Chain A
Amino acid sequence: AQSVSQHNHHVILSEAASLELGCNYSYGGTVNLFWYVQYPGQHLQLLLKYFSGDPLVKGIKGFEAEFIKSKFSFNLRKPSVQWSDTAEYFCAVPGGYNKLIFGAGTRLAVHP
């Protein structure tokens, strides 16, 4: 069965620090990978997605993620975080019947 694992449940950073959030998946089909973000009090929204092509994907707000097939990973990165990046981040892969399977989430707190 498909699964998604996010290694860091809570991350605390100072502004301007670099960010990398881990995501590993187990999936046997065509790879489609997603990162969603949930800012405090806001909708869950798509940050970026990978369907095919260049394994380095650029998303909104300066985020990027790299698909490494050999490691079954899709880690999220940002070179310099801001206080406004404080949010919960979810990695997701398709499950059967057009579902998405979500990881447990990583809560990021950025201190000014």
Chain B
Amino acid sequence: DGGITQSPKYLFRKEGQNVTLSCEQNLNHDAMYWYRQDPGQGLRLIYYSQIVNDFQKGDIAEGYSVSREKKESFPLTVTSAQKNPTAFYLCASRLKSSYEQYFGPGTRLTVT
């Protein structure tokens, strides 16, 4: 089955700790994205990557970091500098030739 997997589904962390969210896709898509979803705010773009070893900041990149060492993988690190890290995080990917994005199931992060 082709698709995007995100793990874990739920993640709990103490304030001050960095945490890394996994995103893997086997769709052979070129571009990958990380969004944050908060109630009433839709999806806001954190980071995106159009090719391996390259990524750009989205609209709310502060306090986050990413890497793209392999085409299939785009992990997101939520650092202790992120002021409001508790949220639902969605990973997406798309083919270079299309705007249509495919989404993973998401990771719900709770920081206390």
Contacts and interface: CB of A to CB of B under 8 A. Distances in A.
A26 B50 CA distance: 25
Interface residues of B, number: 24
Contacts of A32: 99
Interface residues of A, number: 23
Nearest to A94: B99
Given A98-B31, A99-B33, A99-B48, A43 B104 contact: yes
A93 to B, nearest CB: 9
A90 B43 contact: yes
B40 A102 contact: no
Majority SS at the chain B contact face: strand
B103 A45 contact: yes
Most buried by A among B42, B48, B90: B42
Interface string B91-102: 010100001111
A44 interface: yes
B42 A103 contact: yes
Contact of B42 (A34, A42, A49, A105): A105
Contact of A44 (B50, B56, B90, B99): B90
Interface string A69-112: 00000000000000000000010001101111011110000000
8 contacts: A6-B42, A43-B104, A94-B99, A97-B56, A98-B99, A99-B58, A102-B35, A102-B42
What are the nearest 8 A-B pairs in CB distance? A44-B103, A102-B43, A102-B42, A104-B42, A94-B99, A105-B42, A32-B99, A43-B103
Interface of A: 4, 6, 9, 32, 34, 36, 42-46, 49, 90, 94-95, 97-100, 102-105
